[in-house]
Structure 1
Amino acid sequence: MERLIQADGQPCYGLFPHSPALINYRDFDFRSPMGRRLGALAKWRRFHQFQYFGLMGEQLIGGCALAHLSLVSIAFVYLYHPPSGRLLERRFKAPLGLGSRFSQAPDDGVCTFRRGRNHLRLENRADEGLRRVRVELDDGLVLDASFREAADEAGEGEAARPFQPLCICTPVASTGWTFARKVAGVRCHGEVSGPLGRFDLATLDTFAHHDWSAGFMRPETCWRWACLSGWVDGRRVGLNLACGVNETSFTENCFWLDGELIKVDSVAFRFDRDDPLQPWTITSFDGQVELTFQGVGLHRERLDLLIMASHFRQVFGRFHGTLRPRGRPSVSIDGLWGFVEDHYAKW
């Protein structure tokens, strides 16, 4: 599919094997809930996009995100070192996206955010299947991490198989839509250096998660999300679960075994909203997922500008429980690192 928005001005809905080459949101026939056609200014105001790159491993866990919300662009990066318990985190905001650049090509584009000597860059290359994050901060932190969506862990004499990403577009509210492309359970390469020390991500067996999302989301929304990645009995395992966004007709819930995507039904999150570091319970309606999560630390963002607001809490910690793919042996999850998230937004 070359473009998400078709000739009739509507997006193509469903689950896709690959991303559209372009999220051509300007071609969307955007309407008010009462059917009035809306113009370019309304499209600019209501279209939001973000990209996230997460790292998961025994020596390092963290994330980097860039978000463009029309009136403001937001960026953050944080790194947690489990052996020492040290956490580094930085947050940046730019009115009207000044100093930022966002591509609407999920597989072949660059998103950047620059503030003074702080530079954050998320790069995707279709010809290489490459996903890369590059961060340079004024405190000396340099993060350069990447992965390729191929089964590069294939054994001797085995052919590498392409990774199966989750690509989904669903209706949202009365007239909107959301597109998401997600990956988890891939090995990460690169280096991190700075106040926490120097780390070779491949040597430390670090895994990655990637999320590219955009669309005309609900003006006031909330969601919960969970993700994990790592080795289980010699297999690469990844997981992506959510409720609150992509649930109209289709869900984004799934897990990966050695790059193979396995869909999951709707999920329920149970947790203490006053203390998200308390244990979480996450279960799927179809019985394929039964997990608990124990938080170790969290990254928090709060923004209240009257016409815009965000209460974002991303918790990092360890998962325990069971994945039960239909017709296959169960997969026991015993202490894999990952994330959960509780997010309210008015935009």
Structure 2
Amino acid sequence: MHKLIKADGQPHYGLFPEAPGLVNYRDFDFRSPMGRPLGAWSKRRTFHQFQYFGLISDQLIGGCALADLSLVGIGFVYLFHPPTGRMIERRFKLPLGWGTRFSQQPNDGVCELRSGGNLLRLENQAASGEKRLLVSLDDGTSIEACFTERQPAFEPMCICTPTAVNGWVYAQKVAGVRCTGTVRSALGEFDLAALDAFAHHDWSAGYMRRETTWNWACLSGLAGGERVGLNLSCGVNETSFTENCFWLEGVLHKVDTVRFQFDRDHPLLPWRIGSHDGRVELSFEAQGMHQERLNLGVIASNFKQIFGRFSGTLRPAGRPAVVIDNLWGFVEDQYAKW
């Protein structure tokens, strides 16, 4: 599929074996809830885009995200050192997205944020199948991280769902892939390959509900000698299809709807996550949290990304269950208005 939006102005919906070449949202036949055609300004104002790159290992946890919310560009990066409990983090908010750029090519483009002497950059390269994270901060922190979906082969989760009365969301998820590169910061210097680090990646864009909330879970690592990844969500991408899945050695295993049980007022208490079809039964013990709060009236966000350890069971069809024993990963609790 070269383009997500068809000649009739409507998206391709469903689960796809690979990403579209271009999320051509400007070709979308965007209408008001009453059916009135909306122009270019409305299309741009209500189109939002995100990209996230996460690092997971026993010695280092990290996350970097960029978001284009039309009225503001947002970025964050953090690093957490599990052996000592030390954490460093930076946040950036740029009015009208000045200093940012975002490609609408999920597998072949650059998204970046520049603010003073700080750079957050995510590069996706179609020819090599690589995803790269480059971070350079004015305090000397630097991250160069990379993974590939080619060697060994990996099946990404690519999905487009209708949203509310007049929108859609395209999402592309990867988890359970090994990561290489280097990290230098006040926490120390790290060789990601030597740490046997894993990565996960999220590229999402579309016309989302004006006001929404979601939960999300992701893990990556080794279980019984197998490479394991997991991506679960509740609250978004659930109209007709879901993004819920796990990967074993890069092979995607689909999962039904999921339920997150946790204390919203005390998110560092244990979580429980289970799927309706019984394929996923997990508990989560938090070790730390990155939190963002933004309230600009027309735009607001209450975001908590919590890192910690998962335990439980994954049950793929036609083969023995996989036991998850204290694997690092992430959960989220997010409220957004845009």
**Could you tell me how far apart the structure 1 residues matched to 2:160 and 2:294 are?**
27
1:313 is the counterpart of 2:304: yes
Residue 334 of structure 2 corresponds to: 343
Residue 291 of structure 1 corresponds to: 282
**Could you tell me how far apart the structure 1 residues matched to 2:75 and 2:287 are?**
22
Deviation track 1:107-157 (CA, whole Å, cap 9, x = no partner) reads 0000010000000100000000000000000111000000011344xxxxx
**Could you tell me how far apart the structure 2 residues matched to 1:136 and 1:311 are?**
26
Residue 16 of structure 1 corresponds to: 16
What RMSD over aligned residues (CA atoms) do the two structures have, in Å?
0.5
**Could you tell me how far apart the structure 1 residues matched to 2:62 and 2:286 are?**
13
Query: How far off is 1:194 after superposition?
Result: 1.6
Counterparts of residues 325-336 of structure 1 (less than 5 Å): 325-336=316-327
Deviation track 1:65-92 (CA, whole Å, cap 9, x = no partner) reads 0000000000000000001110000000
**Could you tell me how far apart the structure 2 residues matched to 1:244 and 1:8 are?**
28
Residues 135 and 141 of structure 2 are in contact (CA less than 8 Å); yes or no, is this contact kept in structure 1?
Answer: yes
SS of the residue corresponding to residue 26 of structure 1 reads: helix
Which residue identity does 1:293 align to in structure 2? F
**Could you tell me how far apart the structure 1 residues matched to 2:85 and 2:289 are?**
12
Which residue identity does 1:235 align to in structure 2? E
Q: When the two structures are superposed, what TM-score results if normalisation uses the length of structure 2?
A: 0.99
The one of 257, 272, 284 aligned to 2:263? 272
Query: How far off is 1:263 after superposition?
Result: 0.3
SS of the residue corresponding to residue 12 of structure 2 reads: coil
Counterparts of residues 168-247 of structure 1 (less than 5 Å): 168-247=159-238
Q: When the two structures are superposed, what TM-score results if normalisation uses the length of structure 1?
A: 0.97
Residues 107 and 126 of structure 1 are in contact (CA less than 8 Å); yes or no, is this contact kept in structure 2?
Answer: yes
**Could you tell me how far apart the structure 2 residues matched to 1:34 and 1:142 are?**
49
Residue 53 of structure 1 corresponds to: 53
**Could you tell me how far apart the structure 2 residues matched to 1:87 and 1:272 are?**
23
Which residue identity does 2:15 align to in structure 1? L
Which residue identity does 1:131 align to in structure 2? K
Residues 151 and 259 of structure 1 are in contact (CA less than 8 Å); yes or no, is this contact kept in structure 2?
Answer: no
Residue 156 of structure 1 corresponds to: none
Residues 151 and 258 of structure 1 are in contact (CA less than 8 Å); yes or no, is this contact kept in structure 2?
Answer: no
SS of the residue corresponding to residue 214 of structure 1 reads: strand
**Could you tell me how far apart the structure 2 residues matched to 1:261 and 1:196 are?**
35
SS of the residue corresponding to residue 4 of structure 1 reads: coil
**Could you tell me how far apart the structure 2 residues matched to 1:6 and 1:285 are?**
33
Residue 131 of structure 1 corresponds to: 131
Counterparts of residues 74-223 of structure 1 (less than 5 Å): 74-152=74-152, 162-223=153-214
Residue 159 of structure 1 corresponds to: none
Which residue identity does 2:325 align to in structure 1? D
Which structure 1 residue ranges, 5 or more long, are not aligned?
153-161
Which residue identity does 2:209 align to in structure 1? R
Counterparts of residues 25-44 of structure 1 (less than 5 Å): 25-44=25-44
Query: How far off is 1:62 after superposition?
Result: 1.2
Aligned length: 338
Deviation track 1:190-228 (CA, whole Å, cap 9, x = no partner) reads 000121110000010000000000000000001000000
Query: How far off is 1:245 after superposition?
Result: 0.7
Which structure 2 residue ranges, 5 or more long, are not aligned?
none
Q: Which runs of at least 4 in structure 1 moved beyond 6 Å after TM superposition? A: none
Deviation track 1:268-327 (CA, whole Å, cap 9, x = no partner) reads 000000010000000000000000001110000000011110000000000000001111
